[in-house]
């Protein structure tokens, strides 16, 4: 597929094969919600190559086709979605200056402004700070958190999430990943094993166990 052009016929046939008619509907929804503007407001911009909105459209379509991102370069019909290398997709998803958290928040605000007509008394904000238990002490960013359900510290991940509910639908508004000071891995040591730039091993928060 050329840059910023509709999906190829082969992809449309695959959607029909799964009895799905999604591309045009998703594209119209993205246009109505102003995805290009929202992506720009969140700092998700590219100076060259495929436009962010084109890459995002493909990533939204993949789950409906029951395919993973990896299928973009391992399956022929998926590779025709977007004539891009896998590094293009990974850079798009992992770019340190792309503020996906802000994008989700302003997207939900736009969706609610267009669709939500529920009575004011039916609207509530929900805050959740559940802990996802883990057992591996050498896992990246794992730490101890006080679990209010068990009233004890629990090793794992904690995600503070803010949601909006109007008695009919739930919308995720914001989320923040928290690491406590009490962690089995506390030293940040850069790896020098020749890992590719931007890989997990070279990220600032990659950790080694304390000895």
Distance of CA 195 to the CA centre of its chain: 24
- pLDDT the model gives residue 17: 62
- pLDDT the model gives residue 87: 80
Map 139-165 to HEC letters. Answer: CCCCEEEEECCCCEEEEEEEEEEEEEE
169 to 35, 78, 160, 196, 198: CA distances (angstroms): 21, 32, 20, 42, 38
Helices (H), the chain: 9-17, 23-33, 35-41, 52-64, 71-74, 76-79, 86-94, 100-115
- pLDDT the model gives residue 96: 87
Please give the structure tokens belonging to residue 68.
């993973």
Continuous segment of H or E residues that includes residue 51 = none
- pLDDT the model gives residue 194: 46
Walk along the chain (211 residues) in steps of 10 and give the mean pLDDT of each run: 44 58 75 93 88 85 76 63 74 89 94 92 92 82 86 89 92 88 60 45 43 36
Query: How far apart (Å, rounded) are the C-alpha atoms in residues 129 and 126?
Result: 10
- pLDDT the model gives residue 202: 43
Q: Which of 62, 66, 54 is nearest to 27 (CA)?
A: 54
| 155 beta partners | 144
Does the global pTM surpass 0.75? no
Query: Where do we find the tokens 């508004």?
Result: 173
Pairing of strands 207-208, 187-188: antiparallel
């Amino acid at each position: 597929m050329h840059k910023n052009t509709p999906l190829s016929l082969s992809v449309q046939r695959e959607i029909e094969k799964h009895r799905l008619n999604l591309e045009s509907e998703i594209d119209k929804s993205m246009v109505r919600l102003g995805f290009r503007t929202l992506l720009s407001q969140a700092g998700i911009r590219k100076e060259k190559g495929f436009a962010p909105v084109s890459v995002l459209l493909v990533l939204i379509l993949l789950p409906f086709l029951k395919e993973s991102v990896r299928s973009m370069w391992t399956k022929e019909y998926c590779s025709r979605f977007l004539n891009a290398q896998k590094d293009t997709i990974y850079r798009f998803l992992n770019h340190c200056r792309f503020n996906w958290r802000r994008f989700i928040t302003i997207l939900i605000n736009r969706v609610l402004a267009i669709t939500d007509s529920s009575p004011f008394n039916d609207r509530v904000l929900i805050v959740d700070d559940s802990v996802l238990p883990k057992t591996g002490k050498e896992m990246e960013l794992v730490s101890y958190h006080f679990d209010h359900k068990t009233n004890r510290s629990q090793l794992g991940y904690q995600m503070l999430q803010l949601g909006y509910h109007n008695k009919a639908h739930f919308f995720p508004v914001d989320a923040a990943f928290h690491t406590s000071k009490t962690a089995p891995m506390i030293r940040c040591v850069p790896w020098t094993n020749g890992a590719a730039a931007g890989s997990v091993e070279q990220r600032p928060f990659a950790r080694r166990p304390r000895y």
